[in-house]
Structure 1
Amino acid sequence: MICMFFKLAITFLFLDISSGRHTPWRLRPRLTESLDELDGDEEQIRNVCCKKMKQTLFIGKGSDGEDIEVDVGVCRQSCAKKAPKIKKKEFERLLKETEPGVNPIELFLSLRRNDVFNSCLPGYTCSPSYAKLERYYTIDGALDVPIIDSCQCKKSLSDCGVADKPVLFFSGTPFEQFVNLGTCQADAMCSEDSTCVPTKNTTLSIEGPNGIQCVEVIEECGCRPSCYRASKLENIYDYTDVDIESDKVKPELQTIDIGICVGPCNLPSHKVKKCVLRDPENPKRCLSSLTHRPTGCQPTSFKTHYYMDKHGNSRSVLAIRHCSCK
């Protein structure tokens, strides 16, 4: 039956070519709906294709001198969408529902096509569902290694912002708990000379098998150049407006953003000269210079905050305003 169908289809094709006419192959709406029914599991297939793949990482050597390698995992597209097998009765039904001008060969091939596409729908990325920290002991000490548990399609951010990053701490112990550490969306819309990076962090205290542990959590992200100023908060007690001789002392708690310089700098590894004294009559002429090695991303300007301690002494705190490579 199938052989007869192909012979008939090829005969129709040659008759059409020999007549010198080009018949546009059109599909009726009913046929389009039928094709959608066959491909209706697209979103499910995409999520299935977003899988955790193996990625081995060397973390150190054990007490026996052997290398310790851990499969930390990576989220990648793992398959292509394949059209389901077409049953004979289903194909005959679709063929009857089409217009007379539809090419049977094109219809058959369209139902048998294999479409390769991204593992997630537009606006989504294949990302870890969550990661868990597992502790390994090397000759250099204990290491907490984040390991991807599973992957799924997650909605991407259109702007630079904080995305969820759940991490399971103290897995396999009575203290295990999830903490959303946050992450800056890597594919956010930033200019060519900047990237989406953390600009403000905070710390959480969580209890584990070995006592209290501080965990850093990302609060804000922004588009910044390679060397940039990130927020770092410092709490101080100011006694300026307090009677320090009084028994009931209630100092003012101030939170100051002292800042921190973060990021790499493409600086030369050799020492460079910096002119410290120039000829007044010829500024281009250097009379004295100092040789130093570039230090990287460093503060370039500061702001001073003043306060008074419990003993009445005037104190000051320097807050970084700008950073640059130098």
Structure 2
Amino acid sequence: MFVLCFLVTAVLSKHIDHRNLFTQRVCCKRQSHFVYIGQDISGNPVSVDVGMCRSHCGGASRPSHETVQQDYSKHSSMLEFLRSKKMRTRGPLAPESSEALNQLPSCGMNQVCEPTGMRVDRVLLLEGPREVEVIEECHCEIKLSHCIRVPALRTYYSETPYETVIDVGGCSKAKGSPEGFSCVPTKFDPVLVDTPNKVDLIQTVAACELKESCYRVPYVEYYYETVHHAYGVKEERLKEIDVGRCLGGCTTGNRCLLRSPSDPEICHLWTERQSSSCTPQSYESHSFVNQHGQIRTVLSITSCLCQK
């Protein structure tokens, strides 16, 4: 009887751990992640803490930016630094790495730790202004099995009189998708945002579909068309043509050569990008008479493919 009670208690405690709301909120949280974005107008390097969402409780702590810089300065080159780092991590796992592997995800099996709030910062660099997306908060989000549009809030012109929050939208990371297919945006809606100098146009995702990595999206253009009716009646009207656009990336393979033993999401060394462009594969022509009585031909994209 004692053994049965012990087993039931163990199972219940394990069941509760996966659904502990306090654990989810504490462990799925934002952590600092600095990214170098260029030089400012004075020539000094600029790094921005864009943040990252971590989905594990506890585990090995990541080395700080200053610690990495000091460790790297002891070596004559980046190659020597990476070689020494690989030699130190070769062999049995370190105790803190083993501890990290034993940690359970804070969001459970059917959830993922994702950003719940982001802002867009504008940084003035030597080559001009640049927009950087910064993670503000994280939360546990249910993994979706279907390809749908999901909300994605972005704050523009934060801490200014023009601060605006817009749902720019995104596409769900549909699990169980066929190989080579992804849930990608296929329709966009523009939103106007007031700024001190002008009006900015923000593109938001309106719809998503399961597509191959290189895909076609609608893109409508309008033209003036002249139509001659019976008895010499001439009519001028708008002609709508979906000329299409090719979107998506064609990069294949894993570009990471050396990952962190304590955190597989961190890549220390990348190979050169082997990519090809997503270009039109087939098209069709649309002919009409313009305002000046001339025949105008417009080509529209009907399909796209990856072209090296």
The residue aligned with 2:178 is 191
Cα distance between partner residues in 2 of 1:58 and 1:29: 51
The residue aligned with 2:248 is 263
Cα distance between partner residues in 2 of 1:31 and 1:78: 24
The residue aligned with 2:5 is 27
Compute the displacement of 1:34 (Å): 8.9
1:1-326 equivalences under 5 Å are 25-27=3-5, 42-79=20-57, 116-240=103-227, 251-252=237-238, 254=240, 256-265=241-250, 296-326=277-307
Cα distance between partner residues in 2 of 1:241 and 1:179: 46
Cα distance between partner residues in 2 of 1:266 and 1:33: 45
Indicate the SS of the match to 2:121. Answer: strand
Count of residues in Structure 1 that have an aligned counterpart in Structure 2: 242
| Unaligned residue ranges in structure 1 (runs of 5+) | 1-22, 82-114, 268-293
Compute the displacement of 1:324 (Å): 1.7
% identity of equivalent residues? 28
- TM-score (ref. length: structure 2): 0.66
Report Cα offsets for 1:165-199 as digits up to 9, x if no partner.
11011112222111111122234432112222222
Cα distance between partner residues in 2 of 1:151 and 1:242: 62
Cα distance between partner residues in 2 of 1:196 and 1:264: 13
Cα distance between partner residues in 2 of 1:314 and 1:204: 35
- Mark the CA change 1:172 to 1:309 in structure 2 (over 3 Å): closer, same or farther: farther
Query: Residue type of the partner of 2:20?
Result: E
Cα distance between partner residues in 2 of 1:242 and 1:121: 68
Compute the displacement of 1:32 (Å): 8.4
- TM-score (ref. length: structure 1): 0.63
Report Cα offsets for 1:78-135 as digits up to 9, x if no partner.
5259xxxxxxxxxxxxxxxxxxxxxxxxxxxxxxxxx942221443321111211111
Q: Is the 8 A contact 1:201 1:232 kept in 2?
A: no
**Higher gyration radius (CA):** 1
Cα distance between partner residues in 2 of 1:80 and 1:42: 15
- Mark the CA change 1:134 to 1:121 in structure 2 (over 3 Å): closer, same or farther: same
Indicate the SS of the match to 1:214. Answer: strand
